[in-house]
Structure 1
Amino acid sequence: MAARVLHVISAPAGDSAEHQLRLLLGHLPQHGEVVTLSPPGPVLGGVRAGGAVVHELVSARDLDPGVVNRLRRLVLRGGFDVVHTHLFRAGLQGRLAAWLAGVRHVITTEYHLGDDSRQVLGARAFYRAGAHGRFTVAVSAAIAGRLRRRGVPAERMAVIPKALDPAEFRFDAGLRAAARARLRIPAGTPVIGGLGRLEPSKRFDVLIRAVREVPGAVLLLVGDGSARHALERLATIEGVADRVRFAGAVPHAREMLCAMDVFASPGRDTCGLVVLEALAAGLPALYAGCAALDEVPVEGARRLTPHDPESLPRGLRAEVLCVAERSGGRLPARSAGKPYDAGSMAASIGDLYDRVRGS
């Protein structure tokens, strides 16, 4: 009999963890419901529209006794076999609620484990209490290494990469034209794109400085975050404010990727899923970090040379010239292979549900 799974997530609206949960629910045979501890964005709204039940228990506190108690009652009422938590705050409250409800099968997915002291202490306490039936999923080998250093036993952990559905990013000329018109980008203008939360670790400041050295190109930054105002000021200081477009956060990246001609991901501390999305959309991509491409090189993806400040502007100029030589034509969609396909990711998670229930 298929497991009944309750997913508990504490992602900000639009966070990549929301998209991963959306893909997981769309490909899993197991019945699942969702509890969001943060205000749900359009991604989880789409999950609800797809037929999944989404419960909202919004709380900004890492440990909220009222939310834990409501979660416990929801687990009991729904007869769930497995509680699957996504991100730190959901892990704390979801695990405690599962324990109080007598559900011993708990899976925690870590997407971007930070070095925040509260997370380090909380993680160590929970992971060292990792009793029978508990399991942790790391979305990259780097995160798995951090988890081991925090006391997670290797036999209670699996590395299952983030994934995507390549069909969701298929190039569409109509979407391209509509997006560029809305962003006031003239036809024929080469567009360099960056995608992700606008935080210092993503190094979009490097991209703004680099576009100054690519005459005639427009930079399109898609996403929002704490660094947005600083990046807007930097664009003015660098004299490229008229050539930088801030699109803000979007429910799905497809339209914005269609509007681009060259993709750049200068952040080093990333699993690089956005790079794979760009390749699926037929874009050439320059990147500083992408674990998938370390294992499987893909045509049209070029790794930036570490500690070479000219690597990014030089690569951008070269790719813009190639776009001109193709008369703006798109590259074919490319993939890093089966491990990064949404169906494969869901199958691995589904097998893990069966494994913990049998333990």
Structure 2
Amino acid sequence: MKVLHIITGLAAGGAEQQLLLTIRHLPPGIHCEVAALTNPGSVAEALRAEGVPVHDLGMRGNRDLGVLPRLTRLIRRGRFDVVHTHLYRAGLYGRLAARLAGVRAVLATEHSLHAGTIEGRPVGLGVKSLYLAAERLGSTTVAVSRQVAGTLGDWGVPGQRVEVLPNGIEAGRFLHTERERARIRRELRAELGLPEEAFVIGAVGRLVPGKRFDVLAQVLPALPGQVRLLLVGEGPERARLARLAGPRAVLAGERADVPELLTAMDVLAAPSVEETFGLAVLEGLAAGLPILHSGCPALEELPADAAPGARKLPSTQAAYRAALFDLATGRPAAPLPRPAAVAHYDIVRTAAHLGELYQRLGRGLPPVPAEREI
């Protein structure tokens, strides 16, 4: 079976990393290629290094209609059985191109959708109408959480066209022996200029307003002197966050070694209230860290005892200052046991179910309702 993934861009980001992990773990017999409308960045390099063909369509802007015939020709030449789109712009152009090329099995993963926003941008009537028109050109829309599925329903997408298939993490990458963990922690703290005795608050994600990392930066000066802040990610908020946090913060930028960097942290904090899944929280749990978060649909859709190391807080300075003070001044904790939530969201499990979905759509079988989910 041949599958073409179409995505808006391939710079480092949650949806882009999910695409990489999913392709890496799909069942045997599924050949994947990737088409990026624009910006084939670090994730494109990683895909190519693993032997996945990546096509750069060179789209110059949202209204560059010339990408449509290029994409249609690519789909026809490749004789793909399934076309799978990711992110808003790719969903618009990709589903239309697939239909023009004669592909009937067309699905789209909805990675970031809230009641009034899509991918962090406000949604007006025009955007919503265009989204719904494009959605009808596909076979199935995949929601990464029940929250996303609910929003799709509120927007008017019929339930029988939605399948809940959550994101996943490479759980095995976060496993280290006690000796390995100590060595990695020591080496990375030295590289980053973090004192060995420091209590390190970690945060992972794009440095954008919606992540609310400014909450952490603003409480840092009020915490004990041994506390440091380690921000992993890049984005337009970098300069502001550095200014707010002062010299006790390290902004590591975009990194590929997140599983290792988590060993340099003592707690993972995620103050965002706009998450549609919460991958960083799951990765922190897989690494044995205590978690402070303000919104993680991935955990909220599981039983309460699935992640005992995670604590939900209001996304306020007062709440995070108090919780972080307690952790920083308490007894140092050993890595926490791996909770059930990590196994539930292992990418191997998710990719296996996606492979089944490809086979079903490729045979012309109808999609299943949103109630069927893994």
Spell out the pairing of 1:257-268 with structure 2 (5 A cutoff): 257-268=262-273
Query: Counterparts in 2 of 1:1-359, with a 5 A limit?
Result: 3-11=1-9, 13-29=11-27, 30-113=30-113, 114=118, 115-117=122-124, 119-127=127-135, 130-131=136-137, 134-171=139-176, 172-215=181-224, 216-235=226-245, 241-270=246-275, 271-294=277-300, 295-296=302-303, 297=305, 298-304=307-313, 306=314, 309-322=317-330, 324-326=331-333, 329-357=334-362, 358-359=364-365
Instruction: State the number of aligned residues.
Output: 345
Gaps of 5+ in 2: 366-374
Question: Superposition RMSD on alpha carbons, in Å?
Answer: 1.9
Residues 231 and 126 of structure 1, relative CA distance in 2, 3 Å threshold: same
Q: Provide, for residues 206-233 of structure 1, a one-character-per-residue CA deviation record: whole Å limited to 9, x for no partner.
A: 1112222321200011111122222223
Determine if contact 1:289/1:303 at 8 Å carries over to the other structure.
yes
- Distance (Å, rounded) in 1 between the aligned partners of 2:78 and 2:354: 21
Deviations 1:43-84 (A, max 9, x none): 332221112111111324224332221211111111101100
* Contact persistence 2:266–2:290 (CA under 8 A): yes
Percent identical pairs in the alignment equals 45
Q: Is the 8 A contact 2:69 2:97 kept in 1?
A: yes
> Normalising to structure 2: TM-score of the pair?
0.86
Q: Given the superposition, is the C-alpha separation of residues 332 and 44 from structure 1 closer, same or farther in structure 2, using an over 3 Å criterion?
A: farther
2:341 counterpart SS class? coil
3-state SS of the aligned residue for 1:103? coil
Q: Secondary structure at the match of 2:163?
A: strand
Structure 1 counterpart of 2:370: none
The alpha carbon displacement at 1:342 in A equals: 0.4
Distance 1:307 1:289, change over 3 A: closer
* SS of structure 2 residue aligned to 1:269: coil
Q: What SS does the aligned partner of 2:6 have?
A: strand
Task: Using the TM superposition, give the Cα deviation of residue 310 of structure 1 relative to its aligned residue in structure 2, in angstroms.
Answer: 2.7
CA distance in 2, matches of 1:318, 1:222: 23
Kindly indicate whether the alpha-carbon contact (under 8 Å) linking 2:86 and 2:108 is maintained by their aligned counterparts in 1: yes
Q: Which runs of 5+ in 1 are unaligned?
A: 236-240
- Aligned in 2, Cα 1:195/1:85: closer, same or farther, shift over 3 Å? same
Distance 2:18 2:84 in 1: 13
Provide the C-alpha distance between the structure 2 equivalents of 1:174 and 1:97, rounded to a whole number of angstroms: 50
* Inter-partner Cα distance in structure 2 for 1:320 and 1:44: 39
Q: CA deviation at 1:192?
A: 0.5
CA contact (8 A) 1:198 1:204 kept: yes
Partners of 2:332 and 2:252 in 1: how far apart?
Answer: 28
Q: Which runs of 4+ in 1 moved over 6 A?
A: none
Distance in structure 1 (CA, Å) of the matches to 2:323 and 2:131? 40
Contact 1:42-1:251 within 8 A present in 2 as well: no
- What SS does the aligned partner of 1:7 have? strand
Residue by residue over 1:256-313, the C-alpha shift from the partner in whole angstroms, topping out at 9 and shown as x without a partner, is: 2121111111111112111110111111111111123222331221111x37653211
Q: Distance in 1 between matches of 2:64 and 2:51?
A: 28
Which segment drifts farther, 42-51 or 187-196?
Answer: 42-51
Letter in 1 for 2:218: R
Counterpart residue identity of residue 2, structure 2: R
Taking the aligned partners of 1:60 and 1:220, their CA distance within structure 2 comes to 35
> How much does 1:9 deviate?
0.9
- Partners of 2:206 and 2:233 within 8 A in 1: yes
